[in-house]
Chains A and B, each alone.
Chain A
Amino acid sequence: MSCDGRKEQILLYLTDGLDRSERDALESHLQTGCPRCAAQHSAARELLGWLPLALPPEHPPQRVKDRLMSRVGNDLAAATAAEHRADGTVALGGSGDAHSRRADSTPTGSLRLRGGRQRAAWQRLLISHVLPPLAAAALAIVVTYGLMITSIHDSQDRLADLEDRIADLQDNLESSSKEMDKLKSYHAVTDELLTTLHSSALRDIPLQRINDQESYWARLLWDLENDRGFLFANDMDTLQADAMYSLWFTPEGSTDPIQAAEFTFDQFGRARFEMNVPDRPGRFTHARVQYAFGGERERSTERERDTAGEHEPDPNNVDEISFGAMGAR
Protein backbone atom coordinates (compact mmCIF):
# COMPACT_ATOMS: atom_id res chain seq x y z
CA MET A 1 0.00 0.00 0.00
CA SER A 2 1.32 3.38 -0.92
CA CYS A 3 1.41 6.18 1.53
CA ASP A 4 -1.37 7.90 -0.34
CA GLY A 5 -3.78 5.26 0.73
CA ARG A 6 -2.71 5.17 4.32
CA LYS A 7 -4.65 8.23 5.37
CA GLU A 8 -7.86 6.28 5.80
CA GLN A 9 -6.01 3.41 7.36
CA ILE A 10 -4.40 5.74 9.89
CA LEU A 11 -7.78 7.19 10.81
CA LEU A 12 -9.22 3.76 11.34
CA TYR A 13 -6.14 2.75 13.25
CA LEU A 14 -6.60 5.60 15.65
CA THR A 15 -10.26 4.66 16.20
CA ASP A 16 -9.50 0.94 16.68
CA GLY A 17 -11.03 0.14 13.35
CA LEU A 18 -8.25 -2.13 12.03
CA ASP A 19 -7.93 -5.81 12.57
CA ARG A 20 -4.80 -7.23 14.08
CA SER A 21 -2.89 -7.80 10.87
CA GLU A 22 -3.72 -4.39 9.44
CA ARG A 23 -2.71 -2.74 12.68
CA ASP A 24 0.61 -4.53 12.84
CA ALA A 25 1.42 -3.66 9.26
CA LEU A 26 0.68 0.01 9.80
CA GLU A 27 2.66 0.15 12.98
CA SER A 28 5.58 -1.44 11.25
CA HIS A 29 5.41 1.13 8.52
CA LEU A 30 5.18 4.00 10.96
CA GLN A 31 8.21 2.69 12.76
CA THR A 32 10.23 3.07 9.58
CA GLY A 33 9.90 6.77 10.10
CA CYS A 34 8.04 7.50 6.94
CA PRO A 35 7.72 11.28 7.14
CA ARG A 36 4.56 11.50 5.11
CA CYS A 37 2.76 8.87 7.12
CA ALA A 38 4.13 10.33 10.31
CA ALA A 39 2.69 13.69 9.35
CA GLN A 40 -0.63 12.11 8.48
CA HIS A 41 -0.61 10.24 11.75
CA SER A 42 0.04 13.46 13.68
CA ALA A 43 -2.68 15.28 11.81
CA ALA A 44 -5.16 12.51 12.38
CA ARG A 45 -4.36 12.40 16.06
CA GLU A 46 -4.83 16.12 16.22
CA LEU A 47 -8.20 15.85 14.55
CA LEU A 48 -9.36 13.13 16.89
CA GLY A 49 -8.05 15.07 19.82
CA TRP A 50 -10.37 17.89 18.88
CA LEU A 51 -13.51 15.80 18.66
CA PRO A 52 -14.23 15.74 22.41
CA LEU A 53 -14.59 19.48 22.22
CA ALA A 54 -17.84 18.88 20.39
CA LEU A 55 -19.32 17.80 23.67
CA PRO A 56 -20.77 20.46 25.93
CA PRO A 57 -18.30 21.02 28.74
CA GLU A 58 -19.08 19.52 32.10
CA HIS A 59 -16.99 20.87 34.88
CA PRO A 60 -16.05 18.34 37.54
CA PRO A 61 -16.64 19.05 41.22
CA GLN A 62 -14.11 21.23 42.99
CA ARG A 63 -12.92 18.29 45.06
CA VAL A 64 -11.35 16.78 41.95
CA LYS A 65 -9.15 19.82 41.48
CA ASP A 66 -8.38 20.02 45.16
CA ARG A 67 -7.31 16.40 45.23
CA LEU A 68 -5.15 16.83 42.15
CA MET A 69 -3.40 19.94 43.40
CA SER A 70 -2.87 18.30 46.76
CA ARG A 71 -1.15 15.41 45.03
CA VAL A 72 0.97 17.86 43.09
CA GLY A 73 1.92 19.68 46.25
CA ASN A 74 2.89 16.46 47.96
CA ASP A 75 4.91 15.48 44.93
CA LEU A 76 6.81 18.74 45.01
CA ALA A 77 7.43 18.37 48.71
CA ALA A 78 8.66 14.83 48.24
CA ALA A 79 10.96 15.94 45.47
CA THR A 80 12.37 18.69 47.66
CA ALA A 81 12.93 16.30 50.52
CA ALA A 82 14.69 13.94 48.19
CA GLU A 83 16.97 16.68 46.97
CA HIS A 84 18.33 17.11 50.46
CA ARG A 85 19.67 13.63 50.58
CA ALA A 86 23.42 13.51 50.51
CA ASP A 87 23.95 11.20 47.53
CA GLY A 88 21.40 12.91 45.29
CA THR A 89 19.78 9.57 44.49
CA VAL A 90 16.27 9.45 45.71
CA ALA A 91 13.67 6.81 46.17
CA LEU A 92 10.38 8.36 45.43
CA GLY A 93 7.32 6.66 46.77
CA GLY A 94 5.58 6.63 43.45
CA SER A 95 3.43 9.67 43.27
CA GLY A 96 4.18 10.54 46.88
CA ASP A 97 0.47 10.57 47.37
CA ALA A 98 -1.59 8.30 49.55
CA HIS A 99 -4.56 8.58 47.24
CA SER A 100 -2.97 6.66 44.42
CA ARG A 101 -4.50 3.25 44.21
CA ARG A 102 -4.45 2.39 40.57
CA ALA A 103 -2.56 -0.62 39.28
CA ASP A 104 -1.24 1.45 36.45
CA SER A 105 -0.20 4.31 38.63
CA THR A 106 3.16 5.89 38.39
CA PRO A 107 5.75 3.19 39.09
CA THR A 108 7.84 3.36 42.20
CA GLY A 109 11.57 3.01 42.29
CA SER A 110 14.75 4.93 42.53
CA LEU A 111 15.31 7.89 40.40
CA ARG A 112 18.32 10.00 39.99
CA LEU A 113 17.20 13.55 39.68
CA ARG A 114 19.21 15.90 37.65
CA GLY A 115 20.80 18.75 39.53
CA GLY A 116 19.11 21.40 37.50
CA ARG A 117 15.63 20.06 38.12
CA GLN A 118 16.47 19.53 41.77
CA ARG A 119 17.50 23.11 42.17
CA ALA A 120 14.48 24.30 40.25
CA ALA A 121 12.14 22.27 42.42
CA TRP A 122 13.88 23.40 45.57
CA GLN A 123 13.70 26.97 44.42
CA ARG A 124 10.03 26.67 43.65
CA LEU A 125 9.37 25.09 46.99
CA LEU A 126 11.30 27.86 48.65
CA ILE A 127 9.36 30.47 46.78
CA SER A 128 5.97 28.88 47.26
CA HIS A 129 6.20 27.51 50.78
CA VAL A 130 8.98 29.28 52.66
CA LEU A 131 9.29 32.82 51.45
CA PRO A 132 5.61 33.76 51.74
CA PRO A 133 5.39 32.87 55.46
CA LEU A 134 8.72 34.61 56.13
CA ALA A 135 7.59 37.67 54.22
CA ALA A 136 4.31 37.68 56.08
CA ALA A 137 6.11 37.36 59.42
CA ALA A 138 8.52 40.18 58.54
CA LEU A 139 5.68 42.39 57.46
CA ALA A 140 3.82 41.63 60.66
CA ILE A 141 6.87 42.56 62.72
CA VAL A 142 7.36 45.82 60.85
CA VAL A 143 3.72 46.74 61.17
CA THR A 144 3.65 45.87 64.85
CA TYR A 145 6.77 47.92 65.51
CA GLY A 146 5.33 50.85 63.64
CA LEU A 147 2.13 50.60 65.60
CA MET A 148 4.06 50.46 68.84
CA ILE A 149 6.06 53.58 67.98
CA THR A 150 2.92 55.39 66.98
CA SER A 151 1.25 54.32 70.18
CA ILE A 152 4.19 55.55 72.25
CA HIS A 153 4.11 58.92 70.55
CA ASP A 154 0.38 59.16 71.08
CA SER A 155 0.83 58.31 74.73
CA GLN A 156 3.47 60.96 75.14
CA ASP A 157 1.26 63.53 73.51
CA ARG A 158 -1.62 62.59 75.73
CA LEU A 159 0.62 62.77 78.78
CA ALA A 160 1.71 66.25 77.83
CA ASP A 161 -1.89 67.27 77.38
CA LEU A 162 -2.77 65.88 80.75
CA GLU A 163 0.08 67.77 82.36
CA ASP A 164 -1.13 71.00 80.79
CA ARG A 165 -4.62 70.37 82.00
CA ILE A 166 -3.36 69.65 85.49
CA ALA A 167 -1.45 72.93 85.48
CA ASP A 168 -4.56 74.78 84.37
CA LEU A 169 -6.58 73.13 87.05
CA GLN A 170 -4.01 74.09 89.65
CA ASP A 171 -4.12 77.68 88.47
CA ASN A 172 -7.87 77.64 88.60
CA LEU A 173 -7.73 76.14 92.06
CA GLU A 174 -5.41 78.86 93.21
CA SER A 175 -7.59 81.53 91.74
CA SER A 176 -10.60 79.93 93.28
CA SER A 177 -8.85 79.89 96.64
CA LYS A 178 -8.10 83.58 96.35
CA GLU A 179 -11.66 84.26 95.43
CA MET A 180 -12.78 82.18 98.30
CA ASP A 181 -10.56 84.16 100.62
CA LYS A 182 -11.99 87.38 99.30
CA LEU A 183 -15.47 86.13 99.80
CA LYS A 184 -14.62 85.10 103.31
CA SER A 185 -13.18 88.51 103.95
CA TYR A 186 -16.19 90.15 102.45
CA HIS A 187 -18.52 88.15 104.58
CA ALA A 188 -16.43 88.79 107.62
CA VAL A 189 -16.56 92.51 107.03
CA THR A 190 -20.22 92.27 106.32
CA ASP A 191 -20.75 90.48 109.60
CA GLU A 192 -18.85 93.20 111.41
CA LEU A 193 -20.75 95.86 109.58
CA LEU A 194 -24.03 94.35 110.61
CA THR A 195 -22.88 94.34 114.17
CA THR A 196 -21.88 97.96 113.89
CA LEU A 197 -25.15 98.89 112.32
CA HIS A 198 -26.91 97.51 115.35
CA SER A 199 -24.87 99.73 117.60
CA SER A 200 -26.82 102.07 119.78
CA ALA A 201 -24.24 104.83 119.24
CA LEU A 202 -23.75 104.79 115.54
CA ARG A 203 -22.80 107.84 113.58
CA ASP A 204 -23.26 108.05 109.84
CA ILE A 205 -20.88 110.57 108.27
CA PRO A 206 -20.99 111.09 104.51
CA LEU A 207 -17.79 112.25 102.94
CA GLN A 208 -17.12 113.89 99.66
CA ARG A 209 -14.13 114.04 97.43
CA ILE A 210 -12.20 117.16 98.08
CA ASN A 211 -12.08 117.99 94.38
CA ASP A 212 -15.84 117.96 94.20
CA GLN A 213 -16.33 114.99 92.02
CA GLU A 214 -19.83 114.19 93.07
CA SER A 215 -19.64 110.78 91.55
CA TYR A 216 -17.06 109.81 94.09
CA TRP A 217 -18.08 109.56 97.67
CA ALA A 218 -17.32 107.81 100.87
CA ARG A 219 -19.44 107.05 103.90
CA LEU A 220 -18.11 106.65 107.40
CA LEU A 221 -19.94 104.67 109.99
CA TRP A 222 -18.66 105.30 113.48
CA ASP A 223 -19.61 102.91 116.20
CA LEU A 224 -19.00 105.03 119.23
CA GLU A 225 -19.92 102.25 121.59
CA ASN A 226 -17.25 99.94 120.26
CA ASP A 227 -14.88 102.49 118.74
CA ARG A 228 -15.10 100.79 115.44
CA GLY A 229 -15.29 102.46 112.12
CA PHE A 230 -16.43 101.37 108.68
CA LEU A 231 -15.65 103.33 105.61
CA PHE A 232 -17.21 102.75 102.23
CA ALA A 233 -15.89 104.34 99.10
CA ASN A 234 -16.96 103.81 95.51
CA ASP A 235 -13.87 105.12 93.89
CA MET A 236 -11.77 102.06 93.71
CA ASP A 237 -10.50 103.07 90.33
CA THR A 238 -8.53 105.75 92.12
CA LEU A 239 -8.28 104.28 95.52
CA GLN A 240 -5.65 101.67 95.82
CA ALA A 241 -6.23 98.46 97.69
CA ASP A 242 -2.63 98.17 98.80
CA ALA A 243 -2.22 101.77 99.89
CA MET A 244 -2.59 103.07 103.46
CA TYR A 245 -5.11 105.70 104.18
CA SER A 246 -5.77 107.65 107.34
CA LEU A 247 -8.79 109.20 108.99
CA TRP A 248 -8.49 112.61 110.57
CA PHE A 249 -10.87 114.51 112.76
CA THR A 250 -10.69 118.23 113.59
CA PRO A 251 -12.42 118.88 116.92
CA GLU A 252 -14.56 121.91 117.32
CA GLY A 253 -12.54 124.78 118.61
CA SER A 254 -9.27 123.32 117.46
CA THR A 255 -7.22 123.73 114.34
CA ASP A 256 -5.15 120.58 114.74
CA PRO A 257 -6.63 117.46 113.23
CA ILE A 258 -6.47 114.19 115.10
CA GLN A 259 -5.64 110.98 113.35
CA ALA A 260 -8.26 108.47 114.29
CA ALA A 261 -7.24 105.48 112.25
CA GLU A 262 -5.13 104.01 109.48
CA PHE A 263 -6.51 101.47 107.14
CA THR A 264 -6.60 100.05 103.73
CA PHE A 265 -9.48 99.52 101.39
CA ASP A 266 -10.44 96.09 100.11
CA GLN A 267 -11.28 95.52 96.53
CA PHE A 268 -14.88 96.38 97.21
CA GLY A 269 -14.00 99.83 98.50
CA ARG A 270 -14.50 99.00 102.13
CA ALA A 271 -12.27 99.72 105.05
CA ARG A 272 -12.72 98.73 108.63
CA PHE A 273 -10.64 99.90 111.46
CA GLU A 274 -10.49 100.68 115.13
CA MET A 275 -11.18 104.21 116.01
CA ASN A 276 -8.43 105.70 118.10
CA VAL A 277 -9.78 108.92 119.50
CA PRO A 278 -8.66 109.17 123.14
CA ASP A 279 -10.45 112.36 123.70
CA ARG A 280 -13.67 111.79 122.01
CA PRO A 281 -14.73 115.07 120.63
CA GLY A 282 -18.16 116.17 121.33
CA ARG A 283 -18.17 117.88 118.08
CA PHE A 284 -15.79 118.02 115.19
CA THR A 285 -15.66 120.32 112.33
CA HIS A 286 -13.80 118.17 109.81
CA ALA A 287 -13.34 114.56 109.00
CA ARG A 288 -10.94 113.63 106.27
CA VAL A 289 -9.74 110.47 104.66
CA GLN A 290 -6.53 110.85 102.87
CA TYR A 291 -3.81 108.88 101.37
CA ALA A 292 -1.00 108.06 103.75
CA PHE A 293 1.61 105.93 101.97
CA GLY A 294 2.22 102.84 99.96
CA GLY A 295 0.57 101.53 96.84
CA GLU A 296 1.20 102.49 93.31
CA ARG A 297 1.28 106.11 94.29
CA GLU A 298 4.43 105.49 96.28
CA ARG A 299 5.85 103.27 93.61
CA SER A 300 5.26 105.86 90.98
CA THR A 301 6.68 108.43 93.31
CA GLU A 302 9.83 106.37 93.64
CA ARG A 303 10.05 106.00 89.92
CA GLU A 304 9.67 109.69 89.54
CA ARG A 305 12.29 110.17 92.17
CA ASP A 306 14.58 107.89 90.33
CA THR A 307 13.98 109.67 87.11
CA ALA A 308 13.60 113.12 88.47
CA GLY A 309 16.56 112.93 90.70
CA GLU A 310 16.44 115.40 93.57
CA HIS A 311 12.84 116.40 93.18
CA GLU A 312 10.62 114.65 95.62
CA PRO A 313 6.91 114.89 95.13
CA ASP A 314 4.85 115.77 98.13
CA PRO A 315 3.48 112.58 99.57
CA ASN A 316 0.87 114.60 101.35
CA ASN A 317 -0.75 115.75 98.22
CA VAL A 318 -4.15 114.50 99.00
CA ASP A 319 -6.19 116.50 96.69
CA GLU A 320 -7.04 113.79 94.29
CA ILE A 321 -8.04 111.15 96.65
CA SER A 322 -9.06 112.65 99.85
CA PHE A 323 -12.52 112.81 101.21
CA GLY A 324 -13.67 115.36 103.60
CA ALA A 325 -16.72 116.13 105.62
CA MET A 326 -17.58 119.51 106.82
CA GLY A 327 -19.27 119.92 110.05
CA ALA A 328 -19.86 117.52 112.78
CA ARG A 329 -22.74 115.50 113.99
Chain B
Amino acid sequence: MVESQPKRRSTSAFPKNPVGVVGPPLTRSAAQSDAALRRENAALMNRIVQRDEAALEALYDRYSGAVYAIARQILAQTADAEEVVDDTFWEVWRKADRYDPTRGSVASYLLLLARSRAIDRSRQVRAQRPPNGSTELLDDRTEPEHREKYGKPDADLLLTERRAMVQRLLAELTAEQRQAIELNFLKGLSHQQVAEALDVPLGTIKTRIRQGLIQLFDRIRTNDEEREYEL
Protein backbone atom coordinates (compact mmCIF):
# COMPACT_ATOMS: atom_id res chain seq x y z
CA MET B 1 0.00 0.00 0.00
CA VAL B 2 1.39 3.25 -1.01
CA GLU B 3 1.46 5.91 1.57
CA SER B 4 -0.04 8.93 -0.12
CA GLN B 5 1.24 11.49 2.22
CA PRO B 6 2.23 14.79 0.87
CA LYS B 7 5.88 15.40 0.74
CA ARG B 8 7.01 17.50 3.58
CA ARG B 9 10.26 18.81 4.81
CA SER B 10 12.51 16.29 6.47
CA THR B 11 12.58 16.08 10.25
CA SER B 12 15.54 13.77 10.30
CA ALA B 13 19.12 14.74 11.04
CA PHE B 14 20.02 14.91 7.44
CA PRO B 15 21.35 18.36 6.77
CA LYS B 16 18.43 20.71 6.50
CA ASN B 17 19.93 22.55 3.63
CA PRO B 18 22.33 20.21 1.99
CA VAL B 19 24.11 21.38 -1.03
CA GLY B 20 21.99 21.23 -4.12
CA VAL B 21 18.87 19.75 -2.47
CA VAL B 22 16.53 22.59 -3.11
CA GLY B 23 16.81 23.47 -6.72
CA PRO B 24 16.28 22.32 -10.24
CA PRO B 25 17.11 18.81 -11.40
CA LEU B 26 20.72 18.00 -11.99
CA THR B 27 21.98 19.16 -15.30
CA ARG B 28 23.84 17.15 -17.83
CA SER B 29 27.05 18.66 -16.54
CA ALA B 30 26.42 16.95 -13.22
CA ALA B 31 25.87 13.69 -15.02
CA GLN B 32 29.11 14.20 -16.85
CA SER B 33 30.83 14.87 -13.56
CA ASP B 34 29.38 11.67 -12.23
CA ALA B 35 30.77 9.78 -15.22
CA ALA B 36 34.15 11.38 -14.67
CA LEU B 37 34.10 10.26 -11.07
CA ARG B 38 33.35 6.71 -12.14
CA ARG B 39 36.20 6.74 -14.61
CA GLU B 40 38.62 8.08 -12.06
CA ASN B 41 37.61 5.52 -9.49
CA ALA B 42 37.87 2.72 -12.00
CA ALA B 43 41.37 3.85 -12.92
CA LEU B 44 42.34 3.94 -9.26
CA MET B 45 41.06 0.45 -8.77
CA ASN B 46 43.07 -0.82 -11.69
CA ARG B 47 46.18 0.73 -10.23
CA ILE B 48 45.46 -0.82 -6.87
CA VAL B 49 45.32 -4.20 -8.57
CA GLN B 50 48.80 -3.37 -9.81
CA ARG B 51 49.82 -2.78 -6.19
CA ASP B 52 50.04 0.98 -6.54
CA GLU B 53 49.85 2.28 -3.00
CA ALA B 54 49.45 5.83 -4.20
CA ALA B 55 46.17 4.81 -5.83
CA LEU B 56 44.94 3.35 -2.57
CA GLU B 57 45.90 6.52 -0.81
CA ALA B 58 43.96 8.55 -3.36
CA LEU B 59 40.90 6.37 -2.89
CA TYR B 60 41.27 6.71 0.86
CA ASP B 61 41.48 10.47 0.66
CA ARG B 62 38.32 10.54 -1.42
CA TYR B 63 36.10 8.15 0.51
CA SER B 64 37.47 7.83 4.03
CA GLY B 65 35.07 10.54 5.13
CA ALA B 66 32.05 8.64 3.87
CA VAL B 67 33.35 5.32 5.18
CA TYR B 68 34.02 6.78 8.59
CA ALA B 69 30.63 8.46 8.63
CA ILE B 70 28.72 5.26 7.94
CA ALA B 71 30.88 3.38 10.45
CA ARG B 72 30.17 5.92 13.12
CA GLN B 73 26.47 5.72 12.42
CA ILE B 74 26.53 2.02 13.14
CA LEU B 75 29.15 1.80 15.85
CA ALA B 76 29.08 3.56 19.18
CA GLN B 77 32.83 3.67 19.76
CA THR B 78 35.06 5.80 17.59
CA ALA B 79 37.86 3.30 17.97
CA ASP B 80 35.66 0.65 16.39
CA ALA B 81 34.74 3.02 13.61
CA GLU B 82 38.43 3.69 12.98
CA GLU B 83 39.03 -0.03 12.79
CA VAL B 84 36.29 -0.33 10.20
CA VAL B 85 37.93 2.34 8.07
CA ASP B 86 41.25 0.56 8.32
CA ASP B 87 39.77 -2.84 7.59
CA THR B 88 37.67 -1.60 4.68
CA PHE B 89 40.53 -0.05 2.79
CA TRP B 90 42.83 -2.90 3.73
CA GLU B 91 40.41 -5.33 2.16
CA VAL B 92 40.25 -3.14 -0.94
CA TRP B 93 44.03 -3.33 -1.11
CA ARG B 94 44.16 -7.07 -0.62
CA LYS B 95 41.20 -8.04 -2.80
CA ALA B 96 41.09 -5.36 -5.43
CA ASP B 97 41.37 -8.00 -8.12
CA ARG B 98 38.05 -9.43 -6.94
CA TYR B 99 36.14 -6.22 -7.59
CA ASP B 100 33.61 -6.78 -10.36
CA PRO B 101 32.68 -3.54 -12.14
CA THR B 102 29.54 -5.18 -13.53
CA ARG B 103 28.12 -5.39 -10.06
CA GLY B 104 28.44 -1.71 -9.29
CA SER B 105 30.70 1.27 -9.17
CA VAL B 106 33.80 1.52 -7.03
CA ALA B 107 32.04 3.94 -4.70
CA SER B 108 29.08 1.68 -4.05
CA TYR B 109 31.38 -1.31 -3.65
CA LEU B 110 33.48 0.55 -1.14
CA LEU B 111 30.61 1.98 0.88
CA LEU B 112 28.66 -1.26 0.93
CA LEU B 113 31.81 -3.00 2.05
CA ALA B 114 32.26 -0.44 4.81
CA ARG B 115 28.66 -0.89 5.93
CA SER B 116 29.09 -4.63 5.97
CA ARG B 117 32.28 -4.40 7.99
CA ALA B 118 30.64 -2.01 10.41
CA ILE B 119 27.68 -4.34 10.95
CA ASP B 120 30.07 -7.24 11.47
CA ARG B 121 31.98 -5.16 13.96
CA SER B 122 28.86 -4.12 15.82
CA ARG B 123 27.79 -7.69 16.19
CA GLN B 124 31.18 -8.58 17.51
CA VAL B 125 31.54 -5.89 20.08
CA ARG B 126 27.82 -5.58 20.82
CA ALA B 127 28.44 -2.00 21.60
CA GLN B 128 25.65 -0.53 19.54
CA ARG B 129 23.22 1.39 21.63
CA PRO B 130 19.63 0.26 21.38
CA PRO B 131 17.65 2.66 19.33
CA ASN B 132 15.79 5.05 21.55
CA GLY B 133 13.31 6.16 19.00
CA SER B 134 15.27 9.22 18.11
CA THR B 135 15.02 10.09 14.53
CA GLU B 136 18.17 12.08 14.73
CA LEU B 137 20.89 10.17 13.00
CA LEU B 138 23.76 12.17 14.37
CA ASP B 139 22.38 12.54 17.89
CA ASP B 140 25.59 12.73 19.86
CA ARG B 141 27.70 13.46 16.89
CA THR B 142 26.25 16.77 16.00
CA GLU B 143 27.98 18.36 18.92
CA PRO B 144 29.73 21.39 17.64
CA GLU B 145 33.13 20.39 18.90
CA HIS B 146 32.99 16.98 17.30
CA ARG B 147 31.76 18.30 14.03
CA GLU B 148 34.38 20.99 14.09
CA LYS B 149 37.10 18.43 14.70
CA TYR B 150 36.08 15.77 12.25
CA GLY B 151 33.50 17.29 10.00
CA LYS B 152 35.16 18.61 6.92
CA PRO B 153 33.84 19.23 3.49
CA ASP B 154 34.81 16.97 0.67
CA ALA B 155 38.06 17.91 -0.90
CA ASP B 156 36.79 16.29 -4.05
CA LEU B 157 34.31 18.33 -6.04
CA LEU B 158 33.11 15.34 -7.98
CA LEU B 159 32.22 13.61 -4.77
CA THR B 160 30.51 16.73 -3.52
CA GLU B 161 28.21 16.72 -6.50
CA ARG B 162 27.40 13.06 -5.99
CA ARG B 163 26.71 13.72 -2.34
CA ALA B 164 24.43 16.61 -3.18
CA MET B 165 22.48 14.46 -5.58
CA VAL B 166 21.95 11.73 -3.03
CA GLN B 167 20.85 14.20 -0.42
CA ARG B 168 18.40 15.71 -2.84
CA LEU B 169 16.95 12.35 -3.73
CA LEU B 170 16.45 11.43 -0.11
CA ALA B 171 14.89 14.79 0.61
CA GLU B 172 12.23 13.99 -1.95
CA LEU B 173 11.05 10.98 0.05
CA THR B 174 8.46 11.17 2.75
CA ALA B 175 9.76 11.67 6.21
CA GLU B 176 8.68 8.19 7.26
CA GLN B 177 10.35 6.56 4.29
CA ARG B 178 13.52 8.45 4.81
CA GLN B 179 13.57 7.72 8.50
CA ALA B 180 13.07 4.03 7.95
CA ILE B 181 15.82 3.88 5.34
CA GLU B 182 18.17 5.82 7.55
CA LEU B 183 17.70 3.57 10.51
CA ASN B 184 17.82 0.40 8.50
CA PHE B 185 20.51 1.06 6.04
CA LEU B 186 22.60 3.80 7.51
CA LYS B 187 22.24 2.84 11.13
CA GLY B 188 22.50 -0.86 10.44
CA LEU B 189 19.35 -1.80 12.25
CA SER B 190 17.36 -4.71 11.06
CA HIS B 191 13.81 -4.20 9.97
CA GLN B 192 12.64 -5.67 13.25
CA GLN B 193 14.82 -3.32 15.24
CA VAL B 194 13.56 -0.35 13.28
CA ALA B 195 9.98 -1.40 13.90
CA GLU B 196 10.70 -1.70 17.58
CA ALA B 197 12.49 1.61 17.72
CA LEU B 198 9.65 3.46 16.02
CA ASP B 199 6.95 1.39 17.60
CA VAL B 200 5.52 0.60 14.21
CA PRO B 201 4.51 -2.77 12.79
CA LEU B 202 7.22 -4.65 10.96
CA GLY B 203 5.19 -4.78 7.80
CA THR B 204 4.83 -1.02 7.81
CA ILE B 205 8.55 -0.61 8.13
CA LYS B 206 9.18 -2.98 5.29
CA THR B 207 6.68 -1.13 3.16
CA ARG B 208 8.24 2.24 3.94
CA ILE B 209 11.70 0.99 3.14
CA ARG B 210 10.62 -0.79 0.01
CA GLN B 211 8.66 2.12 -1.37
CA GLY B 212 11.33 4.61 -0.47
CA LEU B 213 13.99 2.57 -2.17
CA ILE B 214 11.83 1.97 -5.20
CA GLN B 215 11.28 5.68 -5.53
CA LEU B 216 14.98 6.25 -5.30
CA PHE B 217 15.62 3.42 -7.71
CA ASP B 218 13.15 4.72 -10.25
CA ARG B 219 14.32 8.26 -9.83
CA ILE B 220 17.77 7.20 -10.71
CA ARG B 221 16.77 4.90 -13.48
CA THR B 222 14.28 7.27 -14.97
CA ASN B 223 13.82 7.12 -18.67
CA ASP B 224 12.42 10.53 -18.92
CA GLU B 225 13.22 12.41 -22.02
CA GLU B 226 15.53 14.66 -20.10
CA ARG B 227 17.61 12.04 -18.41
CA GLU B 228 19.05 13.50 -15.30
CA TYR B 229 21.56 10.86 -14.47
CA GLU B 230 21.99 7.21 -14.84
CA LEU B 231 23.76 4.47 -13.09
Contact = CB atoms under 8 A, between A and B. Distances in A.
Main secondary structure of the interface of B (DSSP, over half): helix
A72 B53 contact: yes
Interface in A2-41: 7-8, 11-12, 15-17, 41
A52 B69 contact: yes
Interface string B17-50: 0100000000000000000000000000000001
B66 interface: yes
Interface residues of B, number: 73
A42 B103 contact: yes
Interface in B82-122: 82, 85-87, 89-91, 93-94, 102-105, 107-112, 114-115, 120
Nearest to B120: A104
B175 interface: no
B210 A55 contact: no
Contact of A16 (B93, B112, B191, B216): B191
Contacts of B190: 16
A17 B212 CA distance: 13
A49 B111 contact: yes
B220 A47 contact: yes
A8 B103 contact: no
Interface residues of A, number: 49
Contacts of B53: 69, 72-73, 76, 124, 128
A42 B104 contact: yes
Main secondary structure of the interface of A (DSSP, over half): helix
Given A58-B65, A64-B64, A15 B209 contact: yes
A56 B151 contact: yes
Interface string A38-82: 000111111111111111111111011101110111011001000
B85 A60 contact: yes
A16 B102 CA distance: 22
B197 interface: no
Given A42-B102, A55-B66, A124 B51 contact: yes
A259 interface: no
28 contacts: A7-B217, A11-B217, A15-B184, A41-B103, A43-B221, A44-B213, A49-B105, A51-B166, A51-B185, A53-B111, A54-B18, A55-B69, A55-B73, A56-B69, A56-B138, A57-B152, A57-B154, A60-B65, A64-B64, A65-B57, A67-B86, A68-B56, A68-B85, A73-B53, A76-B51, A95-B94, A106-B91, A124-B51
